[in-house]
Amino acid sequence: MDVLTTNGLSKVYKRSFAVKNVSMHVEKGDIYGFVGENGAGKTTLIRLVTGLAAPTSGSYAVCGAANDSPAIYEARRHTGAIVETATMSRGMTALDNMKMQCLYTGVSRTEAELIALIERVGLHYEEIRRKKVGKFSLGMRQRLGIAMVLVSGADFIILDEPMNGLDPQGFIEVRETILRLNREGVTFLISSHILSELERICNKIGVISHGELLEEIRMEDLHRNARRRIVLEAEDADTAESALRADGGFAELERADGRLTVYGDVDLNRVLQLLVSNGLRVRSVNTVEETVEDHYIRLLGRGKIV
């Protein structure tokens, strides 16, 4: 089931596309990473799907409710979002901020329930009960912001650049909070301009540049495309494939467009010796050691990003 679907979604400001014809799919249970350089259109798209801005064209649906249907208001009750920064009073305690969130959203929660939400995001209530939020670290405030959007019972949370400015400890704390909530059934859409921030937590990413979605891919497929591999072309592809498979020493082997790809930390000399010993001539061979970041940069290059 798709928690969020956009169909040809576009937004124009001053005759320029901030978001152009974006079609993306966030499924229930995803931690979806929305990655792109600064100014790529990430925040604009988030503002569109949260109702903070109206589309110029295209449409979207949240939990199956179309953006132009009355049902969208009920769907948004199950959606929480922190766009740019979480809104909270630094002169108040975490619990007082949670109580204010109840007033803003019209949700009735007992004090015990609010404390449980604070604990749920990894903040230890007894340690912070008298501490003003202004004395919190940035990572602690980010986690409190997530607790505040959970007040309404949200099971789909949208976070705009949540790792921005965090120190290593804060990054770990926020990351672990997201992973823990996801295991409890919360779906996330998380934007960032740094792929390495998302690589550790996301199961799927969408790459946006200049307002256009360049790629939507599961992380397992991205890693598969990016890791080390040997790509070769032999005169007799059938015999070459049979020889490699019969050897049994290559865990993953694929054949496509007449080329054979051997994945993993494989000795190139061993592969060539095996083929030569079977009387095979190799037309071409390449060793590829592309990282996930390399793949991302190459993708942006195809999108004409310098």
Residue 6 contacts residue 23 (beta carbons within 8 Å):
yes
pLDDT at position 305:
40
Which parts of the chain sit beneath pLDDT 70?
Answer: 302-306
pLDDT at position 303:
55
Q: Which residue ranges form the domains of the chain, and what is each CATH number?
A: 1-78+155-169+178-217 (3.40.50.300), 80-154 (3.40.50.300), 228-289 (3.30.70.100)
pLDDT at position 56:
97
pTM of this structure: 0.80
SS3 at position 183: helix
Closest CA to 24 of 45, 54, 38: 45
220-264 pLDDT, tens digit each: 888 877 777 888 898 888 888 888 888 877 778 888 888 888 887
pLDDT at position 302:
61
SS3 at position 248: coil
Instruction: List CB contacts of 72: < 8 A, sequence separation 6 or more.
Output: 51, 62, 65, 66
pLDDT at position 130:
94
Structure tokens at 95: 């619990």
